[in-house]
Amino acid sequence: MRRLIVNADDFGRSASINEAVVLAHRDGILTTASLMVNEPHAASAIAMARGNPRLGVGLHLTLVRGKAALDTRTIPHLVNGQSEFSTNAAVAGMRYFFSRACRAELRLEIAAQFEKFQATGFALDHVNGHLHLHLHPVVLQILLENASQWKIRSMRLTADPYFLNKRLASGRRFYRVSHAVIFGLLARRAASRLRQHGIQATSAVFGLLQNGRVDRAYVEKLLPLLPEGDSELYSHPSLGQFKNEFDALVYPGIRAQVRELDIRLIRYQDL
């Protein structure tokens, strides 16, 4: 059996993204969405998700390139004067690893984001991170230490198989190779730890090496090659910048392809 989670990241970041998520769920193959609880359109996203109870909603933990739940006085080593995280993921990741002050403040901020998610009343479908920072060793350790309290049952293991991706797409080879290697190593390190804590994950994740190009051609090529077992395809659908990703998720031919290939669309909570 082949089962597929189709997820939208960045839910709550803009009105365009929110609308695309709901339409792709109602009219397409989207099954889950990852909520950025601190972004300007989070309240709207929450209201829209409540009107679509079959949509699995998870937490898109944001520790870089986004807003914090706590103010600058509480987490001065993580954010600027406007409570915004660094836009440089590599630099932020190094600081989070080596700075004791950062590590202490990360615990506070991560707890605050989970508290905001819990206030929505949604069952936590999954956890992942903006720019995949949930796999950062320090962040992952905090998540695992609090998995029971925060009811973490499923998490994304972001490891997009490069050699399969070579059959599906071309271009930007350095980006694709580097990300396949880096996140492959991080995911392998995290996999055994997730199993020890009873946290579910899919055996394959697709979308990382596309970076905004999960378009119709890619999805049409991917579906017949989908491995047995459970996989996740994640994207960033919107009615603006990444409309190509939205168009792929609602294209009738792709919905028909899913049926013809007998691929079961699921949420993380269905694992």
Which overall architecture, per CATH, does domain 2-270 show? Alpha-Beta Barrel (3.20)
Q: Per-10-residue mean pLDDT for the chain, 271 residues long?
A: 97 98 98 97 98 98 98 97 96 96 98 98 98 97 98 96 90 91 94 96 95 93 97 97 96 98 98 96
User: 177 Cβ partners below 8 Å, 6+ apart?
Assistant: 162
Task: Let me know: does 100 contact 120? Beta carbons within 8 Å.
Answer: no
Query: Token pair of 251, please?
Result: 């294209």
- Which stretches within the chain are classed as H helix? 15-27, 42-50, 89-98, 100-118, 137-145, 162-168, 173-196, 216-225, 243-250, 252-260
Cβ atoms 43, 34 nearer than 8 A: no
Would you state the pLDDT for residue 51? 97
pTM of the model: 0.95
- The 10s digit of each residue's pLDDT in 219-268 is 999 999 999 999 999 999 999 989 999 999 999 999 999 999 999 999 99
Question: Domain segments of the chain: what residues?
Answer: 2-270
Determine the pLDDT at residue 170.
85
Name the burial class of residue 86, with classes exposed (0-12), middle (13-18) and buried (19+) by CB atoms within 10 angstroms of its CB. Answer: middle
